[in-house]
Structure 1
Amino acid sequence: MWPFSRSCQSKARLAGKTVVITGANTGIGKETARDLYRRGARVILACRDIAKANAAAEEVKSALPSKPNREQFKGEPGEVAVCKLNLSNLASVRECANKLIDSEPNIHILINNAGVMMCPYGKTDDGYEMQFQTNHLGHFLLTLLLLPKIKNSAPGCRIINVSSTAHILGQMHWEDLNSEKSYNSVKAYGQSKLANVLFTKELSRRLKEANIEGINVYSLHPGVVSTELGRHLDSSLFRGARTIFSVIIGTFIKNPEQGAQTSIHCAVDEKAGKETGLYYKECAVTTPASKARNEKDAIKLWEESAKLVNLTAQENPFPERH
């Protein structure tokens, strides 16, 4: 277990705040939900499997984080709800967004946490490579659809994109974003995680350009975490890869609660509340790879993503650039 994992130090309470977390039925998403619920937030678990989401909701309400005596956990807990979201189906993304817009008076924090890693090649219901849509396109669309609601809930709103240090392995293959010409599960995962950081950068820039205040955006590396995310290692690399991976770097693997700390930090920390468009690990700002700081690529990715999700003029919260 990673011995030097930093914990979120903020004691901020979230009473009256509404948080949406994708993929929150397991792993760091569930631990993030547990922490924010105990801070008093209304937490919505946006998940593909409603049965698992309901089970996770009960667990979030019944089990305290490992340090329950912290000041931020002493007040009344919040609420937990679930909403169906299948990021590999853009119709489901739109349906989830519409439901949240209709049912929630406010959305203050959106945590784009769900993801798949190094899975065998497969296409989504919309015909896109599974990792690129689940990790990036689905969250891109969900964020833009919810942005008007988040804007109306400002100030103090935050959008958090869970990326990975694997973004350094990524490259935007503009002529083959869908990995149809060739497929390498590691490179495709890296591309999707690079897209998370570029999306964060461009969203921050567009918010500033549109003079939209009170919404800060973040991307982050949670660390190497023992979760279900690694379930495809054996099939994508070689038989036994998951076991070997765990043995070799076992000392450096975080448990899900440790892995959730940087997400929590970006969601609640007071200093982070004055920052936007940055990349974090171990609850602190750090510098991503140079390709994740390329403004032209960030703009191009936005434009390509808008086309791929068939973003309509009514769905686009930003005027077209001229």
Structure 2
Amino acid sequence: MELPSALGHPGWFFTALLLAVILRLQRKGSWTPRKCRVDLTGKTAIVTGANTGIGKSVAMDLARRNARVILACRSRERGQKAVEEVREATGNQKVSLGILDTSSLSSVRAFAQRTLLEEKRLDILINNAGASGLPHSMTADGLENTFVTNHLGPFLLTNLLLDLMKRSAPSRIVFVSSFIHSKGVINPRHLKGEDLQSLHISDYYSSTKLMNLVCANELARRLQGTGVTVTSQNPGVVVTEAMRNYNIVMRFIFHLLGFFFFKSAEEGAASTIFCAVSEEAEGMTGKYVDSDCTVVLPAENARDPDVAKKLWEACESATGLDGREGQ
């Protein structure tokens, strides 16, 4: 779910155009999913937000590798359609639908409970679901909508599934972050819709992507020695449905630029697939992978361990975890 946050500010068009040119000139990584021969027979994977875009492309790749793939989607209709498309395209009938709305903690808990009851193992968890451009609103859980959809929902889901992933080790958790994380800020009060006056609505997205990355690194630290690895990555700027919450003019220009300069969903899925299945990423944890499938340092605001611990504790509190559940 990639979107330059500059699109929400004055001058966003020129910023997007400059970014497009830079991306056009950016070198391509040598790693591609087609060159990777890893087979996932006997493995189970969950991909959130898998009915479209990057998530659907990742699910396609995992299914082609013979994994049992669960598409975790908010819409039953759109999710089932994606399941049928993945089955038809890959010939893999071990592809199924799970209903998951990451903006609702009760939906996250229900999905996790079903998974724990029905699945004997979980080898790969791809936290891909998210949204940008959502208007400010509060959920039934008393949380800000963008922050729970993009961060707290995936945070809770991951924690609830950790024991299953530990029993399935070696296993991998991947968070889809963004290069826009460098523009984000970390303020635990934002999770509950407080102290948001200084943020533009587009800054909500970059801040949640920063939180994804920071909590991924903290989780990697906590899981040392368990055989469960955690990585976060940047897909690049990808033409998906990320613009659906913006006005028609912004959507038109973004997709026009995207036609010439941005990545397709399939291309944007490469770094996620690299983290999830590649031999090169085996045993790699607590790292941030760029869109060309190379390990890079995240922005400085993502590398403070004290901030990570405080954010983690705030997320536990906001989601109702007691600090032991899922650990």
TM-score bin (small chain): 0.7 to 0.9
Is the contact made by 2:46 and 2:71 (CA closer than 8 Å) also made in structure 1? yes
Which of 308, 314, 321 is the equivalent residue of 1:311? 321
Match of 2:119 in 1: 104
Please give the residue correspondences for 1:144-293 in structure 2 after superposition, counting only pairs within 5 Å.
144-155=159-170, 157-181=171-195, 182=197, 183-208=199-224, 211-212=225-226, 214-234=227-247, 240-248=249-257, 250-281=259-290, 282-293=292-303
Shift of 1:82: 0.9
Any conservation in 2 of the 1:46–1:82 contact (CA below 8 Å)?
Answer: yes
Could you state the TM-score of these two structures normalised by the residue count of structure 2?
A: 0.86
Alignment of 1:5-154 (within 5 A): 5-6=28-29, 7-8=32-33, 9-64=35-90, 77=92, 79-154=94-169
Match of 1:67 in 2: none
| Match in the other structure for 1:320 | none
Seq. identity, %: 43
Q: CA deviation at 1:118?
A: 2.1
How much has 1:134 moved relative to structure 2? 0.8
Give distance in 2, aligned partners of 1:233 and 1:279: 29
Task: Give me the TM-score of the superposition, normalised by structure 1.
Answer: 0.88
- State the Cα RMSD in Å: 1.8
Where does structure 1 lack aligned partners over 5 or more consecutive residues?
65-75, 318-322
Q: Which amino acid aligns with 1:315?
A: E
Between the aligned partners of 1:125 and 1:249, the Cα distance in structure 2 is 36
In structure 2, the CA distance between the partners of 1:175 and 1:61, relative to structure 1 (3 Å rule), is closer
- Separation of aligned partners in 1, 2:93 and 2:288: 28
User: For each residue in 1:190-247, what CA deviation from the matched residue of structure 2 results, as whole angstroms up to 9, or x when unmatched?
Assistant: 1100001001110011112xx42x111110111111111121232xxxx612222333
The one-letter amino acid of 1:120's match is P
Residue 316 (structure 1) shift = 4.0
Moved more, 102-111 or 170-179: 170-179
Provide the C-alpha distance between the structure 2 equivalents of 1:215 and 1:134, rounded to a whole number of angstroms: 24
Count of aligned positions: 298
For 1:81-117, what per-residue CA distance to the aligned partner results, in whole angstroms no more than 9, with x for missing partners? 1111111111111110010011001000000000001
One-letter amino acid of the counterpart of residue 271, structure 2: T
How far did 1:248 drift?
4.4
CA distance in 1, matches of 2:133, 2:122: 32
Q: Contact (CA 8 Å) 2:147, 2:190: kept in 1 or not?
A: no
C-alpha distance in 1 between matches for 2:98 and 2:191: 29
Q: Using the alignment, how far apart are the partners of 2:152 and 2:55 within structure 1?
A: 19
Equivalent position amino acid for 1:233 in 2: Y
- Deviation, structure 1 residue 120: 1.5
Deviates more, 1:23-32 or 1:174-183: 174-183
Q: Aligned residue for 2:11?
A: none
SS at match of 2:206: helix
| Mapped partners of 2:152, 2:189: distance in 1 | 17
Aligned counterparts of 1:92 and 1:24: Cα–Cα separation in 2: 16
